[in-house]
Amino acid sequence: MTGSLRSFVPQDDKLLRSFVPQDDSLFILALTNAKPLNCIYKCNCTYNHKNQYLQLELQCCILCAGELMIAIIGDIIKSRFIPDRRKTQEGLSAVLQQINQRYAGTLASRFTITLGDEFQGVLRDADGLLRILDEISFQLKPINLRFGIGVGELTTRLDPTTSIGADGPAYWKAREAIEIAHTNNDYGRANIHLCAQDPDMLVDLINQILKLTALQVSGWRDSQSEVYKVILQEAILDPDDINHQKIADQLKIQASSLTRRFESSGIKRYMSARKEAELALERLNQKYA
């Protein structure tokens, strides 16, 4: 059976659709009801176990060189001074596994631990990027993390199942960004930085938002952080969608107490600012497309 390759890819399969170009004349489509077909790399990739009806003759299980990506490098701050490093590393591994499962359709390459206290991953766009980093950070508290974000090309093929071995300007800039976050951390209150392959005024704007929101979080009390943790758990994206009574019930506090926590923490403003930073980052990313 022949036809447009994209017509056979489900609309909600964001990851697979990202691999399939508008012009699919270079690809061959094979449909089968028999045993799932293996990809040409004979690996255990997404296309073996999720998209059993497709076999792409060219390199669709692994991203080709020259793709435009957003690379993330993260590490644990002052990990050498943590009393039980092994327990912390196991906790990091468990959190990253949850994130990889929850955002399988968003990640171009899963978050992978590269060293004991360092990890990296790749996204194709900025939608949800800062939220993902918040989920990682708040699940690991009181352990603190820093992040470097790099926007640019990859010069190597990228395995969706692991980000180890990938290279290119996106990763070089992510490495540069995390080093800046380490050395220029605003007295320990700024833990994230962005660098891009080419100079752009948006980079400065985004970094100012990231620093201001990081400064805001550094002043949150545990009770205020608990509120934001619930918001993350409930997958609330828009501050206007926050149900005060529902969150108060989960925290087992009075609604009036929750209102005071919102007022003193500025959580809703934080959410709005981070979303604006994501939108600006996506505009920056689209300039490379």
Q: Which domain holds residue 81?
A: 68-210
For residues 80 and 162, state if they share a domain: yes
What pLDDT score does 256 carry?
95
What pLDDT score does 48 carry?
45
Per residue in 5-21, pLDDT (tens digit) is 455 455 655 555 555 54
185 within domain boundaries: yes
pLDDT score of 182 more than 60:
yes
For residues 32 and 141, state if they share a domain: no
Sign of the CA dihedral 153, 157, 163, 168? Answer: negative
For residues 98 and 194, state if they share a domain: yes
pLDDT score of 114 more than 60:
yes
More confident residue, 19 or 56: 19
* Closest-CA residue to 232 (of 215, 250, 254, 214): 250
237 within domain boundaries: no
27 within domain boundaries: yes
For residues 195 and 113, state if they share a domain: yes
For residues 72 and 206, state if they share a domain: yes
User: Which one of 150, 182, 210 terminates a domain?
Assistant: 210
For residues 113 and 181, state if they share a domain: yes
141 within domain boundaries: yes
What pLDDT score does 18 carry?
54
User: Which one of 210, 230, 258 terminates a domain?
Assistant: 210
* Closest-CA residue to 69 (of 174, 170, 199): 170
Per the structure, how many domains does the chain have?
A: 2
Report the distance separating Cα 245 and Cα 256, nearest Å. 9
Coil vs helix vs strand at 98 = helix
What pLDDT score does 167 carry?
84
For residues 75 and 206, state if they share a domain: yes
For residues 113 and 32, state if they share a domain: no
User: Which one of 61, 91, 107 terminates a domain?
Assistant: 61
For residues 53 and 74, state if they share a domain: no
The model carries a pTM of: 0.77
For residues 36 and 98, state if they share a domain: no
For residues 202 and 130, state if they share a domain: yes
Pairing outcome for strands 145-153 and 192-196: parallel
32 within domain boundaries: yes
28 within domain boundaries: yes
For residues 2 and 110, state if they share a domain: no
What pLDDT score does 266 carry?
97
Provide mean pLDDT across the span 122-127. 92
Provide mean pLDDT across the span 29-50. 40
